[in-house]
Amino acid sequence: MAFDLKEIIASRLGENYELHERHLNRTLVSAQRVIGFDKVYARAEGAYLYDMDNQPYLDFLSGYSVFNIGRNHPAVKKAIRANGHRRISMPFSFATPEPKRWKAR
């Protein structure tokens, strides 16, 4: 069954914090509300997020380092488009030798 992800996201716009709080991470949503980060963002460019009124916000959270190169970077977009036909997998964390060293102790 095919679906249009952009359409689904657009139809649920504004519900993101409620849904995230209910189903994913209540504590993160609480923290975002405390620091005033609980806006509905319409777009992002570089290190900035823009709300529905086009007000810019500097993203100090940076997606936990995910967006260190900035959102919608032209070189990254070009590389993704050029390699979109490939199956690319990105782990949530990177392997390090530390766990093996900890087990050995």
Give the global pTM: 0.54
31 is written with which tokens? 């923290």
* Residue reference for tokens 């036909």: 85
d(C-alpha 61, C-alpha 71), whole Å: 13
Confidence of residue 75 (pLDDT cuts 50, 70, 90): confident
- Non-local (6+) Cβ contacts of 43 within 8 A are 49, 50
pLDDT, tens digit (0-9, with 9 covering 90-100), for 15-55? 888 888 999 889 988 988 898 878 888 888 888 888 889 99
- Domains of the chain, by residue range, sit at 12-85
As given in the structure block, the two tokens for residue 61 are 């959270």
pLDDT tops 60 at residue 92: no
